[in-house]
Amino acid sequence: MGYYSDMSYAINGAVCDRQKVKELEDYFADIENHDVYGFYEVKLSLSENGKLKDIWLGEYCAKFYDDRLFIDKLSHCLIEGNVKVEFVGEDGDKWGYFVSPGHIEEIIYVPMKKSTYMKLKEIIQNAESEYINFALKSWKQQRQKTKGGKDA
């Protein structure tokens, strides 16, 4: 038994270091690595200029206990661009990652009503506007101090 999940991904302008890709593929091909599960024998398909075209797996429905390990190694392969990798577990649970060069950000899925989402979106937009106005005001005040009180 075990916990099965489906994996999907979206590639956005990702370019990889070929040597790092080889290291990743070698690591996940080694049957002696007991921390490798769903990403066993993963292959990253690259174009001639190093653009990531595809992530090949034997199965896209598997026991991805090694998801974080793969994501970490993928982040070190990337030179530019990003990849969004998402999972849906057999119980409907969802999780994922935004992966960019040397950086990983977890995706958290929060079920909510659309009306709640719209209110939350408005709150965030207002907070961003207030922050931008505050930062601009602070910058102008600092500028005035450095110009001897004269606003140029």
Per-domain residue ranges of the chain: 5-107, 111-152
pTM over cut 0.95: no
Q: pLDDT for 130-148, tens place per residue?
A: 888 888 888 888 888 877 6
pLDDT of residue 9: 98
pLDDT tens digits for range 26-44: 999 998 888 899 999 999 9
Q: What is the mean pLDDT of residues 88-100?
A: 96
Per-residue pLDDT, 149: 56
**108: its two tokens:** 């958290």
Determine which of 3-17, 45-59, 72-86, 125-139 has the lowest per-residue pLDDT on average.
125-139
pLDDT of residue 42: 97
- Give the Cβ contact number of residue 107 at 10 Å: 13
SS3 state at 57: coil
Q: How far apart are CA 30 and CA 8, in angstroms?
A: 23
Q: Where do we find the tokens 């030179």?
A: 79
User: In which band, very low, low, confident or very high, does the pLDDT at 150 lie, cut at 50, 70 and 90?
Assistant: low
User: In the predicted model, what is the mean pLDDT of the chain?
Assistant: 92
Residue 111 has pLDDT above 80, yes or no: yes
Question: Which pLDDT band holds residue 53 (cuts at 50, 70, 90)?
Answer: very high
Mean pLDDT of 116-122: 92
Q: Are 9 and 44 in contact (CB under 8 A)?
A: no
Helix axes 18-29, 67-77, angle to 10 degrees: 160
Residue 97 sits at φ, ψ, to 5 deg, of -145, 140
